[in-house]
Amino acid sequence: MIVALGLEWGVYIFYTQFDTRNQTIYSTRDKVTRMLRKFLVLSLLCGFSLAELNADEIVPGILRTPDDRFDNLKDFPYKPNYMQIGDYRVHYLDEGPEDADPILLIHGEPTWSYLFRKMIPILTAAGHRVIAPDLIGFGRSDKPVNEADYSYQLQVDVMVELTHRLDLQDATFFGQDWGGLVGLRVVAAEPGRFARVIVSNTGLPAASGIQGWIGYSLFKLAVWWEGAITMEELRANLTFPRWVAYSYHVEDLPLHELMSFMGGDDGVAAAYQAPFPDKRYKAGAQIMPYLVPSQLRVNEEAWNVFEAWDKPFLLAFTDSDPITRGGEQAFLDRVPGATNVTIHGAGHFVQEDAGPELARMMNVFIAGEEVISVTVEKEVAEESP
């Protein structure tokens, strides 16, 4: 717009100085008046565009969600903590006794540490310190605007650095969804810092040889072949490939609607929308599913750690998750002595559907006691007479 304005002024000057024949068409005053009007309109438009561009942008290409977006969230009284790691400010919760053995909770996609609000009081009441960070692009952590700035390795590197800075020792790791993909890599990189592992509804996709080289390319081809699908189509048949295709192709990921049907009431869904004032903030939420199999060969190396694992390892998958159904089998096949229990009646976001039950199960496991499967009792609304 600024270039167009400059060109118009240039044309005006040219004609007034070198082509006096056109002065009979418009008077000089009329031309100036018209140009001033255009200048004012374009200035206003440019001003609004620049204001929108720079809103909450701490440096070019990195957004930070305003703090007031997180005011008065349902059942979430926890104090934010921040750590600058590289270009990004990373948010994390740090609850419970500072000198207690820590539990590292890592969320998945498209959630944030709010996901653990039902679990934290139960874990801290048992005497544990709880650390729950937000991945880059999620929650109160900084958010790159460009999808190309996100990678599986970025999330791993940031979480490894966080464990170093906090000097976590004798820790318990719990991860679900992307939290497992990232956190298991953290454990594999720093096995001496972790005393035990607990995972639910997650995986560690890996391959070696030719599959490791071409697997991700084939996956991207499959997403392209699936093409864009609607929310209604996703609801009708929710699978991992279809979820990836939906999140990759949709113009503006409707997080409120997604969380409403994947777990949680309207008040909870609004809390998951809070980190994302508009679609510019959602680059991470949109691209991360597409990156799940992007490090097959590196993950295969991580499996070497777990195939030699001699510490407690608990699988607590749910029975009603269409995205990761059957995913526990890979761990049973490759992790010696892994304990397997099932949380019945819960879906993909086990923390929403069975947060208290999962937290109590974790307390039992950390105490070295026997863990058993549980069934979540669904609340049934009473009918009006």
Alpha-carbon dihedral angle through residues 158, 175, 299, 194, given to the nearest 10 degrees: 80
Residue 28's pLDDT is 40
CB-CB contact of 331 with 93 (8 Å): no
Residue 383 included in any domain: no
Residues 102 and 48 grouped into a single domain: no
Residues 73 and 158 grouped into a single domain: yes
- Residues 142, 149, 177, 353: which is the catalytic one? 177
First-to-last alpha carbon distance for the chain, in angstroms, is 65
Residue 385 included in any domain: no
Residue 379's pLDDT is 57
Residue 384 included in any domain: no
Residue 229 included in any domain: yes
Residue 264's pLDDT is 62
Residues 301 and 212 grouped into a single domain: yes
Residues 31 and 137 grouped into a single domain: no
Gap between the Cα atoms of 48 and 40, Å rounded: 12
- Residues 128, 134, 348, 353: which is the catalytic one? 348
By residue range, what is the domain housing residue 162? 65-375
Residue 316 included in any domain: yes
Gap between the Cα atoms of 381 and 187, Å rounded: 42
Residue 59 included in any domain: no
Closest CA to 121 of 329, 327, 360: 360
Place of tokens 């940031």: 158
Residue 33 included in any domain: yes
Residues 33 and 117 grouped into a single domain: no
Query: Is residue 128 flagged as an active site residue?
Result: no
In angstroms and rounded to an integer, the radius of gyration of the C-alpha atoms of the chain is: 26
CA distances from 122 to 1, 258, 353 (A): 57, 27, 15
Residues 137 and 88 grouped into a single domain: yes
Residues 97 and 206 grouped into a single domain: yes
Amino acid residing at 348: H
Residues 49 and 69 grouped into a single domain: no
Gap between the Cα atoms of 331 and 306, Å rounded: 9
Residue 55's pLDDT is 54
Residues 28 and 74 grouped into a single domain: no
CATH number, residue 220:
3.40.50.1820
Q: How many domains is the chain partitioned into structurally?
A: 2
Burial grade of 377 (CB within 10 A; 0-12, 13-18, 19 or more)? exposed
Helix (H, G, I), strand (E, B) or coil at 175: strand
Residues 70 and 153 grouped into a single domain: yes
Residue 47's pLDDT is 43
What is the pTM (predicted TM-score) of this model? 0.84
Mapping DSSP onto H, E and C, the string for 62-119 reads EECCCHHHHCCCCCCCCCCEEEEECCEEEEEEEECCCCCCEEEEECCCCCCHHHHCCC
Q: Which of 54, 77, 97 is the last residue of a domain?
A: 54
Gap between the Cα atoms of 164 and 131, Å rounded: 13
Angle subtended by helix axes 296-307 and 178-189, to nearest 10: 60
Identify any residues that bridge with 314 across adjacent strands, giving them in sequence order: 198, 339
Residue 191 included in any domain: yes
Alpha-carbon dihedral angle through residues 356, 358, 360, 364, given to the nearest 10 degrees: 180
Residues 307 and 352 grouped into a single domain: yes
Q: Which of 35, 54, 73 is the last residue of a domain?
A: 54
- Range 17-37 burial, b when 16+ CB lie within 10 A, else e: eeeeeeeeeeeeeebeeeeee
CB-CB contact of 264 with 247 (8 Å): no
Query: Is residue 252 flagged as an active site residue?
Result: no
Residue 261's pLDDT is 75
Residue 263's pLDDT is 63
Residues 50 and 190 grouped into a single domain: no
Query: Is residue 177 flagged as an active site residue?
Result: yes
Secondary element (H or E) of residue 320: none
pLDDT tens series, the chain, 385 aa? 333 333 333 333 333 333 333 343 334 444 434 544 444 434 444 443 443 444 589 999 999 999 999 999 989 999 999 999 999 999 999 999 999 999 999 999 999 999 999 999 999 999 999 999 999 999 999 999 999 999 999 999 999 999 999 999 999 999 999 999 999 999 999 999 999 999 999 999 999 999 999 999 999 999 999 999 999 999 899 888 899 999 999 999 998 888 877 766 666 888 999 999 999 999 999 999 999 999 999 999 999 999 999 999 999 999 999 999 999 999 999 999 999 999 999 999 999 999 999 999 999 999 999 999 999 986 543 433 3
